[in-house]
Structure 1
Amino acid sequence: MSTPPRRPDAARNRTRIVEAARAALAESDHVHLNEIARRAGVGQGTLYRHFPSREALLAEVYRRDVEELVTAAPALLTAHEPVEALRRWLDRLVDYAEIKHGVLAALEPAAWQDLVAHSRNPVEDALGRLLDAGKAAGALRTDVDARGVLQLVAYLGRLDRDEWKSTARPLMSVVLDGLRRRDAER
């Protein structure tokens, strides 16, 4: 039995709630539902109809960000050369990691461990696709894989919120430089 489609206004409200939660998480790990409802321009009842708990809302933010990150890889490869596509994807990964940090800080360990377990393979597959394209083009090292790169960038999760803006993107540039073949043109 499938779920009936949402009314357009209900779908818009749900999207606005998720976007408001994402914006709040980018600013602070301490997310209050009444603040999210206010930012989204909806009442508390509307928020709770869509998301019966804080954890349900934060999990939805996380799932949507993973989905956007994963679907970005093929679109970026279609629009850009492999290294540029990878650079743009890694830039998105920085944004995703910032929100992920906020979500994970706001959830109980059991809830976030389940979210991370379900997102690891799709994100790894998306990155693998980008790396494979760069390797095939002769622009990226052949001795690295997606799992290794994700382990390397996992360090971003250790950055404090106050050092995020000044440190995350420069570190990701170092990662990208390290992935390039030394004999490839830059």
Structure 2
Amino acid sequence: MASVLAASLLMIGILSALPVLPATNPSASASASRGPMEVVTVTPSAPASAAAVDVTGGDVGTGIDFSAPTGTGTLTVTRATWTDSGEVAAPEGSRYLVLEVTVACTHGSVPVDPILLPATVAAGSVLPGFGPSLDAPLGGRQLTAGQHVKGQVGYVLVPGSVELHVLDESLRSLAVVRIPAP
């Protein structure tokens, strides 16, 4: 066992000394004589701004009441923006829908979580997803009477009319907010 340990330590010592041994390859010694390598840093430029369209109408700006098994509340979509820019490029044929929302609890307690706000389009339901740029993402929490929270949720969707559903913890739809197409 001691001989294996001694052999291992000897190999580690030899391998760690290799970088300081002189190069025997003539092309390697020629490149070493040129001096230190130059490091170039590049600051990435911001992506070209993509068309962003704020939509009005539908239920945008209107408080929609809902009643959950544990309490009541109001969801207000204060701003709805269709955009092509995000953390990554939207898939071809899709755009990002960024919603600024306010959820208020008026009685009892209500859960707030982006996963409880799916969007329904002609192709089916979509959960908030990765890709849209959000300055103030909506976080998950439990609100009690008198409390409210503001935040953003973002979706990757084929542009069109959208229905935003408010779900309870059992995933039952409590209310629908209509968002117009861009």
Instruction: Compare the two structures and name the one with the higher strand fraction.
Output: 2
For the aligned pair, the TM-score class normalised by the smaller chain equals under 0.3
Output the TM-score relative to the length of structure 2.
0.26
Output the TM-score relative to the length of structure 1.
0.25
**Greater CA radius of gyration, 1 or 2?**
2
Instruction: Compare the two structures and name the one with the higher helix fraction.
Output: 1
